[in-house]
Structure formats: structure tokens, C-alpha cells
Amino acid sequence: MSRPFSENRMSRTIHDPSKYWETKMAKSSNYFKQTRVQTCSHVLYKNGKAIAVAFPLEKKGLKNTNRLTETKSIAQSTYGRRGNLHAGMPVKPLEPYHPNAHRSRLPTPTVVMPYRNASSIVIGDRSSDYKRQFTSHNRVTYPRHRLDDATTNGGILATKTKWFHRRKED
């Protein structure tokens, strides 16, 4: 039986057609034995339908699927021991690039320059904080009571009144 493959058609295929000619003749159904089908290894009939069987491909690149590319866990890299690094060190240890690494930091300025036209006059004592400094006399004397706390219980009213009077003295 002659082989219908020419040298021109062999250059356009991935697989060597002469190598798979014997497979095609042995395994294909009778209808597809004399055809020029070169896109599959052979053609079978199953349940009245023609099924093309693909060429076997060599598996490449699957050397060791169990080996991980990461050698350190996230916890190890996050909470691992680090030296006392700062931006002004003359020689820093080398490490892989990370945007938040100590090596990538810019030096922090040690002297804070004042803004131009900034006033140096300080009014009052800024170290103490008196929260009722700008509260009016009217607001201190007549506080607004919340209506959702309204009650007719004498003991509760007495306790609240004492509490409000102590707040006025603060």
C-alpha cells in the first residue's frame, strides 16, 4: 500500500507522518484507512460516531511537582529575626527586593525645618488641656437633659442631680 504523504506535507506537520502510518493502518476504521487525515493518530468508530484520537505528546517540564518554589513560609518571612537596620548604615545586608524592606527606605530627616512665615508666639499653656474652656455660663448652669432618661423614680432623680451638680464644679 502506498503512503500518501509527500515531503512537502511532512514539513508542515508536528509529528512524523511515516512514523504514525502503521498506527493509522492498524487502529483506524476501514473508512478512514485510505484518507489523508494527518491531524490525529487514528480515527475510531464508537457508537456510530467517528472519534479522532490525538497524537501522543511527550510530557515536558513536569520534573518534580511536589517541590515548592517558595522556601520560606509567610510566617517565617514576616516574623523572622532581623538585624537592627537603618537607612544610614554604610553597608546593608543584601536581600531580595521588597518594597517595604529596610534597604528601600529613604533616610529620615533628623532636623525639622520650620515653615516660612511661621509664628513662634504661643498663646496660653499648650501642655494643659481644659475641655470646658470655651463652655458658656448658660450651658454650665442649665444643662440639657435627655428625655429618654426621664424617670419619676425619686432615687434615680436624686443620683442624677448629684452627678450633674458635681459636673458643674469641675
Q: With helix as H, strand as E and coil as C, how does 58-96 read?
A: CCCCCCCCCCCCCCCCHHHHHHCCCCCCCCCCCCCCCCC
CA-to-CA distance for 108 and 88, rounded, in angstroms?
A: 9
pLDDT digits (tens, 9 = 90+) for 101-154: 776 788 877 777 778 888 777 777 767 777 777 888 888 777 777 777 788 899
- Which stretches within the chain are classed as H helix? 7-10, 17-27, 74-79, 137-141, 154-169
| Dihedral in degrees, nearest 10, Cα atoms 99, 101, 102, 104 | -30
* Residue 125 included in any domain: no
Number of folded domains in the chain? 1
Percent of the chain with pLDDT over 70: 85
* Residue 134 included in any domain: no
Does pTM top 0.75 for this prediction? Answer: no
CA-to-CA distance for 158 and 49, rounded, in angstroms?
A: 95
Among 16-25, 58-67, 73-82, which is the least confidently predicted range? Answer: 58-67
* Residue 151 included in any domain: no
Output the average pLDDT for the chain. Answer: 77
* Residue 2 included in any domain: no
State the pLDDT at residue 159: 92
Residues 6+ apart with CB under 8 A from 156: none
Residue 88 · residue 80 · CB < 8 Å? no
Question: Which residue range is the domain that position 46 belongs to?
Answer: 7-53
* Residue 22 included in any domain: yes
